[in-house]
Protein backbone atom coordinates (compact mmCIF):
# COMPACT_ATOMS: atom_id res chain seq x y z
CA UNK A 1 0.00 0.00 0.00
CA UNK A 2 1.29 3.42 -0.94
CA UNK A 3 2.33 5.47 2.05
CA UNK A 4 -0.09 8.30 2.72
CA UNK A 5 2.05 11.42 2.77
CA UNK A 6 -0.72 13.95 3.09
CA UNK A 7 -4.17 13.22 4.43
CA UNK A 8 -7.34 13.78 2.40
CA UNK A 9 -9.31 16.86 3.24
CA UNK A 10 -13.03 17.01 3.88
CA UNK A 11 -13.71 20.44 2.39
CA UNK A 12 -11.41 22.86 0.62
CA UNK A 13 -9.09 23.17 -2.35
CA UNK A 14 -6.22 21.00 -3.54
CA UNK A 15 -3.72 22.46 -5.98
CA UNK A 16 -1.87 19.63 -7.69
CA UNK A 17 0.88 19.41 -10.31
CA UNK A 18 2.84 22.34 -8.97
CA UNK A 19 6.44 22.36 -10.24
CA UNK A 20 8.91 21.10 -7.66
CA UNK A 21 9.94 23.87 -5.28
CA UNK A 22 7.07 26.24 -6.11
CA UNK A 23 4.55 25.24 -3.42
CA UNK A 24 5.42 28.13 -1.12
CA UNK A 25 5.13 30.59 -4.00
CA UNK A 26 1.69 29.19 -4.83
CA UNK A 27 0.70 29.91 -1.23
CA UNK A 28 1.95 33.49 -1.64
CA UNK A 29 -0.06 33.89 -4.83
CA UNK A 30 -3.13 32.62 -3.00
CA UNK A 31 -2.53 35.11 -0.20
CA UNK A 32 -1.89 32.44 2.41
CA UNK A 33 0.27 33.91 5.14
CA UNK A 34 0.69 33.96 8.92
CA UNK A 35 -2.74 35.53 9.33
CA UNK A 36 -4.46 32.58 7.61
CA UNK A 37 -6.51 30.52 10.07
CA UNK A 38 -7.49 27.67 7.71
CA UNK A 39 -5.52 24.43 7.90
CA UNK A 40 -2.93 24.43 5.12
CA UNK A 41 -0.92 21.37 4.11
CA UNK A 42 2.07 21.45 1.83
CA UNK A 43 3.71 18.44 0.22
CA UNK A 44 6.98 19.01 -1.57
CA UNK A 45 9.06 16.77 -3.82
CA UNK A 46 6.27 14.21 -4.20
CA UNK A 47 7.08 11.51 -6.80
CA UNK A 48 5.03 12.01 -9.98
CA UNK A 49 4.85 9.90 -13.13
CA UNK A 50 4.31 12.95 -15.31
CA UNK A 51 6.55 15.46 -13.59
CA UNK A 52 9.20 13.38 -11.86
CA UNK A 53 8.72 15.38 -8.67
CA UNK A 54 5.94 17.81 -7.89
CA UNK A 55 4.48 19.86 -5.06
CA UNK A 56 0.92 19.80 -3.74
CA UNK A 57 -0.94 22.38 -1.64
CA UNK A 58 -4.17 21.80 0.29
CA UNK A 59 -6.15 24.60 1.87
CA UNK A 60 -9.02 23.37 4.05
CA UNK A 61 -12.43 25.03 4.24
CA UNK A 62 -11.58 27.46 1.45
CA UNK A 63 -12.81 27.18 -2.11
CA UNK A 64 -10.76 28.88 -4.80
CA UNK A 65 -12.72 29.81 -7.88
CA UNK A 66 -11.29 29.58 -11.38
CA UNK A 67 -10.51 33.32 -11.59
CA UNK A 68 -8.50 33.23 -8.37
CA UNK A 69 -6.86 30.00 -9.48
CA UNK A 70 -5.71 31.47 -12.77
CA UNK A 71 -3.18 33.60 -10.95
CA UNK A 72 -1.45 30.32 -10.03
CA UNK A 73 -0.62 29.98 -13.73
CA UNK A 74 2.03 32.67 -13.20
CA UNK A 75 4.30 30.15 -11.50
CA UNK A 76 2.59 26.81 -12.05
CA UNK A 77 1.12 26.81 -15.55
CA UNK A 78 0.42 23.05 -15.46
CA UNK A 79 -1.31 23.09 -12.08
CA UNK A 80 -4.74 21.55 -11.57
CA UNK A 81 -7.19 22.80 -8.98
CA UNK A 82 -9.60 20.46 -7.23
CA UNK A 83 -12.47 21.74 -5.10
CA UNK A 84 -13.34 19.14 -2.48
CA UNK A 85 -16.65 18.79 -0.65
CA UNK A 86 -17.29 15.91 1.77
CA UNK A 87 -14.06 14.19 0.66
CA UNK A 88 -15.21 14.17 -2.99
CA UNK A 89 -13.71 16.24 -5.82
CA UNK A 90 -16.69 18.27 -6.97
CA UNK A 91 -14.95 20.65 -9.36
CA UNK A 92 -11.69 20.30 -11.22
CA UNK A 93 -10.05 22.78 -13.57
CA UNK A 94 -6.75 23.62 -15.18
CA UNK A 95 -5.31 27.07 -14.66
CA UNK A 96 -4.86 29.50 -17.55
CA UNK A 97 -2.97 32.77 -17.68
CA UNK A 98 -5.33 35.70 -16.91
CA UNK A 99 -5.45 38.86 -19.09
CA UNK A 100 -4.71 41.04 -16.11
CA UNK A 101 -2.92 40.42 -12.81
CA UNK A 102 -3.95 42.71 -10.00
CA UNK A 103 -2.17 43.17 -6.67
CA UNK A 104 -0.14 39.96 -6.91
CA UNK A 105 3.18 41.21 -8.31
CA UNK A 106 5.30 44.21 -7.44
CA UNK A 107 6.78 46.20 -10.31
CA UNK A 108 10.48 45.45 -10.82
CA UNK A 109 11.10 49.10 -11.71
CA UNK A 110 12.08 50.84 -8.45
CA UNK A 111 11.03 54.20 -9.91
CA UNK A 112 7.52 53.04 -10.73
CA UNK A 113 4.86 55.04 -8.92
CA UNK A 114 3.46 51.77 -7.51
CA UNK A 115 6.68 51.33 -5.53
CA UNK A 116 6.00 54.48 -3.51
CA UNK A 117 3.55 55.14 -0.69
CA UNK A 118 0.64 55.72 -3.06
CA UNK A 119 -2.66 53.95 -2.33
CA UNK A 120 -2.74 51.81 -5.49
CA UNK A 121 -2.70 48.14 -6.41
CA UNK A 122 -0.25 46.99 -9.03
CA UNK A 123 -1.80 45.98 -12.34
CA UNK A 124 -0.01 43.95 -15.03
CA UNK A 125 -1.47 43.38 -18.48
CA UNK A 126 -0.63 39.95 -19.85
CA UNK A 127 0.10 39.64 -23.55
CA UNK A 128 2.22 37.22 -25.57
CA UNK A 129 3.63 35.69 -22.40
CA UNK A 130 4.80 39.05 -21.08
CA UNK A 131 3.48 40.99 -18.14
CA UNK A 132 3.50 44.74 -18.61
CA UNK A 133 3.09 47.13 -15.69
CA UNK A 134 0.00 49.20 -16.40
CA UNK A 135 1.61 52.25 -14.78
CA UNK A 136 5.20 52.42 -16.00
CA UNK A 137 5.22 49.90 -18.85
CA UNK A 138 8.05 47.78 -17.44
CA UNK A 139 7.94 44.27 -18.85
CA UNK A 140 8.24 41.30 -16.50
CA UNK A 141 9.02 37.97 -18.14
CA UNK A 142 10.89 35.76 -15.70
CA UNK A 143 11.76 36.03 -12.04
CA UNK A 144 8.09 36.20 -11.19
CA UNK A 145 8.57 34.57 -7.77
CA UNK A 146 10.92 37.41 -6.78
CA UNK A 147 8.18 39.94 -7.43
CA UNK A 148 5.28 38.29 -5.64
CA UNK A 149 3.75 40.82 -3.28
Partner 1 sequence: MDIIDTREMSKDDILRLLERASEVEGSDALDGCVLALLFFEPSTRTRMSFDAAMKRLGGDTVDMGSVESSSVQKGETLADTVRVVEGYADALVLRHPREGAARLASEFVDVPVINAGDGAGHHPTQTLLDLYTVRENVDAPLGDLHVGIMGDLKYGRTVHSLALALAKFGARITFASPPSLRVPQNVRTELERAGVEYEEVEGVDEAIGSLDVLYATRIQKERFPDEQEYEKVAGEYRVTTETLETARDDLVLMHPLPRVDEIAPEVDRTEHAKYFEQAHNGVPVRMAVLDTVM
Chain contacts with partner 1 (rule: CB under 8 A): 109, 111-120, 130, 132-139
Closest to partner 1 by CB, 34 vs 116, is 116
| Other residues' Cβ atoms within 10 Å of the Cβ of residue 37 | 7
What is the torsional sign of CA 2, 5, 7, 13?
negative
Closest to partner 1 by CB, 37 vs 117, is 117
Q: How far is the CB of 104 from partner 1 (least distance, A)?
A: 17
Q: How far is the CB of 135 from partner 1 (least distance, A)?
A: 3
Q: Which of 75, 66, 65 is nearest to 28 (CA)?
A: 75
Phi/psi for 47 (5° steps) reads -60, 140
Closest to partner 1 by CB, 42 vs 112, is 112
DSSP H or E run through 69 = helix 66-70
Q: How far is the CB of 38 from partner 1 (least distance, A)?
A: 33
DSSP, res 96: -
Closest to partner 1 by CB, 104 vs 123, is 123
Q: How far is the CB of 96 from partner 1 (least distance, A)?
A: 22
Closest to partner 1 by CB, 51 vs 136, is 136
HSE toward the beta carbon, residue 13, CA cutoff 13 A: 20
Q: How far is the CB of 121 from partner 1 (least distance, A)?
A: 11
Amino acid sequence: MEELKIRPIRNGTVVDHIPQGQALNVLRVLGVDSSTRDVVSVAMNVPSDAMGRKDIVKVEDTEIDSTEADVIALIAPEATVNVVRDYEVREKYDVSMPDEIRDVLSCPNPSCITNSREPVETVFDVRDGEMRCDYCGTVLRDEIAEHLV
